[in-house]
Structure 1
């Protein structure tokens, strides 16, 4: 049954999370990190899909802390996915203003702490679900993120060695110093028409190899940024279907 819970960061601040539970004992846990639009219905739907694969999923709302609550995120998403180019252009200043706080270094520190608190909760819930099993048998923990969330999937893996698998969809890789802290294998999924990330990918591959990180990048040549979001204008059903198969197989192997 899906539910909302409230968790605390180490400094005592609270944040809400959507929880999707599988039928029966979980095969593992997932932190699911939303796009720049926040904890929208699309993300809760994806959480339910992963729960259907047997995972206990917690999707934290880490953007409300920066002033982008789910209702505002949904409004911005609709604006920036409008079929009217003039409307999209006119909405750019509001978009930049709304997201300004999320780009501050102190916000990133808070967000990573919130994600680590999410891992704490997942680890505790997994232990309760299989109390007589040794820790590995109780199920590992992975992280999946989209766009903004893909970037934070990398950052969480660098900050928390309990993460066993990382699946960033079109996320920006961290700097080499943080990269070197990642111990989990990574499956990164990209659209070939996502120019900025494609331009950066050769250097990311080189840096990941130098850091000794198990990094696999899968590129869908005809897909754009946000190709997995089936509520948006860039949705690519063929790439999304294959990416789902790739992600679930990767998680099954490592989580």
Structure 2
């Protein structure tokens, strides 16, 4: 059964996390990192799906620290994914204001510390045995990259449409990386050739998969950009990749 956990960051602050456990023996542990909307019902469901695949899963709420609690994130997501264009436009200023805390210079360091604390917790769980991976989406995809660079316990990282870390951080990535992109995600597509080059130069085991007809956020089945075919293939690839490396 899913459970809620509170963990402490080294600076003494705390954060909540959704935890899901497999029915049988664990085949490793996963940190699932949410989108810019925070720890929504969608991300909790994704965590539960991974538990169904045999992993001990922790999905931290790292956005409440920046001022966006799950209920607010759920509300913002609904507004920004409304079929009413006027409603989406009207919600944009509120969204920018709400997410300002997550762009503060000190926030990234706090967030990586929180995610590292999540790995500390996973390391103590029966059946994990050092087999730790991370999967993140959008904002969380960026942090999946950053966590892999910050913590050499990460054996496998799967960033969905995340921004790769600066070239200087890439040599710190010790685990394998499977990066998944929508071909219509212009900014990330423009950056991908350089990311591939720099990952190769850094010696990272890096694989990029591009779904040509998909957009950013193609995996979120509650959003306007959901692509069922791309999402199904990405799910299968992710599970095969995790099974190989964990």
TM-score range, shorter chain: over 0.9
Asked if 1:158 is matched to 2:140, the reply is: no
Tell me the residue number matched to 1:59.
59
**1:199-254 superposed Cα distances (whole Å, 9 cap, x missing partner):** 11001001111111111000000000000000111000000000000000000000
Look up the match of 1:185. Answer: 176
What SS does the aligned partner of 2:235 have? helix
| Distance across 1 between alignment mates of 2:234 and 2:25 | 26
Corresponding position of 1:172: 163
Unaligned ranges ≥5, structure 2: none
Deviation digits for residues 175-202 of structure 1 (CA, Å, limit 9, x no counterpart): 0111121011100000000011001100
Deviation at 1:138, TM superposition (A): 2.7
CA distance in structure 2 between the partners assigned to 1:67 and 1:78 by the alignment: 18
Matched, 1:148 2:139: yes
Contact 2:130 2:153 survives alignment (8 Å): no
User: 1-side partners of 2:207 and 2:185: how far apart?
Assistant: 17
Match of 1:194 among 176, 185, 193: 185
| Structure-1 separation of matches of 2:36 and 2:11 | 24
Equivalent residues in 2 for 1:38-57 (5 A)?
38-57=38-57
Alpha-carbon shift at residue 139 of structure 1 (Å): 5.2
Task: Give 1:210-225 correspondences, 5 Å limit.
Answer: 210-225=201-216
Going from structure 1 to structure 2, the CA distance change for 1:139 and 1:159 (only over 3 Å counts) comes to closer
How high is the TM-score relative to the length of structure 1?
0.95
- Aligned-residue CA RMSD in angstroms? 0.9
Q: Which 4+ residue blocks in structure 1 deviate beyond 3 angstroms? A: none
Runs of at least 5 residues in structure 1 that lack an aligned partner in the other structure: 131-136
Is 2:112 the partner of 1:121?
no
SS in 2 for 1:138: coil
